[in-house]
Amino acid sequence: MDQKEIQQLILATTVIVLVLVITLIILFFYFQKKKTAYLLKQRETQQQFEDEITKSKLEIQEQALQNISWEIHDNVGQLLSVAKMQLNMIQLSATKEQQSKIQETGEIVGKSLQELRGLAKSLNPNTIKNKGLIDSITLEIDRFNRLNFLKSSLKILGDPFNLSNEKEIILFRILQEFSNNTLKYSKANKLDITFNYTNNQLEIYAEDNGIGFNINDTSNHKGIGLINMKSRVKLIGGKIELKSSKENGTKLHISCSK
């Protein structure tokens, strides 16, 4: 074999090796891409499954709250209305001293009835659908102020726009959870909520001046409530941030697109 043939053989061998190497590299990247796509698809499927589970839980919760609302309004409310009517009838035949006491009792029953009806409205998702987010939160703020447990306020910035019913219900429930935690556990005497409408974005800020809590502790009711808040916000593609300390109370920030 002469020198020229040897060179041609080396060249041919080199070309074959290069082709094999390039083929292996292409195959490697191809299968790597397929693997990545499969893992992404699997993760997406898992996420969709988790979202559906969360949606189902929320639907069950909303249905339960609606049933409770109906029970309060139709049954308990009706009983209190009857009790108030009977007190009015008794008052007609009572002495002046008794009339004064009966009137006082009637006023207590009337206030109880008013509070129960307000609570029933806040539990019923149809109220939120019909009144909208701002009016529903306003009703809650008014109820807190009537209870005299703390001073509450709602501030609206920018030009309000409507969100979907699903988003408004979820945002309302998050703020309701935050407010209830403030009432029950924070020992706060102040609760401020701000809606800031900018372009197609709604920024919600809620803060109290209470004792705060450990947001990393998920073993108690407040920790579980935080997990629920995060799950709800995730369903509507929003973002949530919660900060809490003894010095500055608890602060909630939610951002949600239109």
Per-residue pLDDT of 55-89, as tens digits, reads 656 666 666 667 777 777 777 777 778 887 888 88
Name the residue with tokens 């409530």. Answer: 225
Q: What's residue 148's pLDDT?
A: 82
Q: What is the pLDDT of residue 254?
A: 95
- Beta-carbon contacts of 131 under 8 Å, excluding residues fewer than 6 positions away, are 139
Radius of gyration of the chain (CA): 31
pLDDT tens digits for 84-123? 788 888 877 777 778 788 888 888 888 888 878 887 888 8
* pLDDT score, position 21: 84
The CA distance from 42 to 252, in Å, is 33
Structural domain boundaries in the chain: 132-258
Q: Distance between CA atoms of 80 and 103, rounded to whole angstroms?
A: 15
Locate 110 and state its tokens.
């009337």
Residue ranges of the chain with pLDDT lower than 70? Answer: 1-2, 4, 6, 46-65, 218-224
* Fold classification of 132-258 (topology level): Heat Shock Protein 90 (3.30.565)
For residues 177-203, one letter each, b for 16 or more C-beta atoms within 10 angstroms of the residue's C-beta and e for the rest, the string is bbbebbbebbebeebbbebebeeeebb
